[in-house]
Amino acid sequence: MSETLDGKLVIGITTRSLFDLEESNSIFEKQGREAYVAHQRERENEAPPPGAAFPLVKRLLALRSPKTEQPLVDIVLFTRSDPEIGVRIFNATKQYGLDIKRGVFTSGQDPYKYLPAFNVALFLSANEESVRGALQAGIAAATIMPAMHQQYDDTDPQLRIAFDGDAVLFSDEAERVYQQEGLAGFTAHEVANADTPLAPGPFKPFLEGLSRIQAEYSNYAPIRTALITARGALAHKRAITTLRSWNVTIDEAFFLSGLDKRKVIEAYMPHVYFDDQRRYCDGAADIVTTGHVPSGVINERNGQ
């Protein structure tokens, strides 16, 4: 009987985001492919250290249906490396106790075109080019920033995922008004359109996937979501109107009215935080795992 991914939330992640492969990558860059493959072969039984997305993946894999005991999330590994490297990678997942069964090894080719074949709902990569390709294909995707000194409490089983609003969960239509007309123009526009939902942004389907997982649990789910937005009281209603129209709930919402997001992120300690603005990502990346979403008007303008 063939296995299917039906009913599961599938997350595609590159080996470089899951593990710290910087040593191997620098060998690839300085000494070339042959030396890189030899280096990986010599270390086939030596697991690389955890990478930026490791704490997130560990908690995602621990989510099980209270009714069927089956895992709710399936992780598929993607890498531009040779299939040869798979031996070390799957040895490492086994050593760390990560139940990952699927891997895609593309020997230099960009792997993003294979995401739809696995029904991937979220793609995390260290390579912005791949992330842009995934976003263009309509898949939620983010560039995972290098791990710094994130201090997650290993004894805390709760999984927390936090999102920016505009150009991440929502489209960038209001952000465009902000960029053209400034704060006053933005606020007036959002007040006038408070009862009109914003168009969906690239992360809406992923948020819906998380909501479906939460609905599996009768009481509090071990997974929580948060909206952390620079919108303030005057512009908040449109965000709520939009979430209501999608029939999804967010557990916590922070309307900061322009205050820096860093302190809230530090208090909430999400296992991943997604934002389209580099400055907010830079302010979060040394505290928590951070994914930059290169979508929307700000990333167009900067040509990032």
Structure tokens at 70: 């089956």
Nearest to 210 by CA among 180, 169, 179: 169
CB nearer to Mg ion: give 162 or 221: 162
- In the complex, what is the shortest distance from the CB of residue 291 to Mg ion, in angstroms, rounded to a whole number? 13
Q: Which amino acid is at 190?
A: E
Report the site for Mg ion in 23-62 (rule: CB under 5 A). Answer: none
CA–CA–CA angle 262, 239, 185 (5° rounding): 85
- Among positions 74, 166, 239, 242, the unique one binding Mg ion when judged by CB under 5 A: 166
Instruction: Supply the residues annotated as catalytic.
Output: 164
CB nearer to Mg ion: give 74 or 166: 166
190 touching Mg ion, by CB under 5 A: no
Q: Which stretch binds Mg ion (CB under 5 A): 93-101, 114-122, 158-166, 188-196?
A: 158-166
CB nearer to Mg ion: give 147 or 243: 243
- Among positions 18, 167, 226, 272, the unique one binding Mg ion when judged by CB under 5 A: 167
- In the complex, what is the shortest distance from the CB of residue 71 to Mg ion, in angstroms, rounded to a whole number? 32
Q: Where are the beta strands (DSSP E) in the chain?
A: 9-14, 73-79, 102-105, 120-125, 140-144, 159-163, 223-229, 252-255, 272-275, 290-292
Size of the site for Mg ion (CB under 5 A): 4
Report the site for Mg ion in 60-89 (rule: CB under 5 A). Answer: none
Report the site for Mg ion in 228-287 (rule: CB under 5 A). Answer: 276
- In the complex, what is the shortest distance from the CB of residue 260 to Mg ion, in angstroms, rounded to a whole number? 14
**Phi and psi torsions of 117, nearest 5°:** -65, -25
CA distance 300 to 131: 14
- In the complex, what is the shortest distance from the CB of residue 285 to Mg ion, in angstroms, rounded to a whole number? 16
Going 26 to 29 to 31 to 37, the CA torsion angle's sign is positive
CB nearer to Mg ion: give 79 or 290: 290
CA distance 109 to 203: 25
Residues found near Mg ion in the complex (CB under 5 A): 164, 166-167, 276
